[in-house]
Amino acid sequence: MRLNEWALSGEWDRLKNQAVMLNKPNGRSRYRFRARDLHLVMGPRRPGNIGAIRVLIDAAAPRRARK
């Protein structure tokens, strides 16, 4: 992936703009960027559903933020 690109794996539906919706468990999203912050808005398909999300930075768990 090139810098500032993103990719999806699994079964997704593309909605308007850059919004997507995962259709089956175990989908993945991948981002390659260089920035101080990345804002990603996520939520359940239906209110009340709970899902697990794992975030990795350079294949490792995030470290504490520096101010």
CA–CA dist 13, 22 (Å, integer): 6
| pTM beyond 0.85 | no
Per-residue confidence in pLDDT tens, the chain, 67 aa: 899 888 999 999 888 777 888 888 888 989 888 888 878 888 877 788 777 888 888 888 888 776 6
pLDDT the model gives residue 9: 94
* Structural domain of 21: 1-67
The total of structural domains in the chain comes to: 1
Residues with Cβ within 8 Å of residue 26, at least 6 apart in sequence: 10
27, 14 Cβ separation under 8 angstroms: no
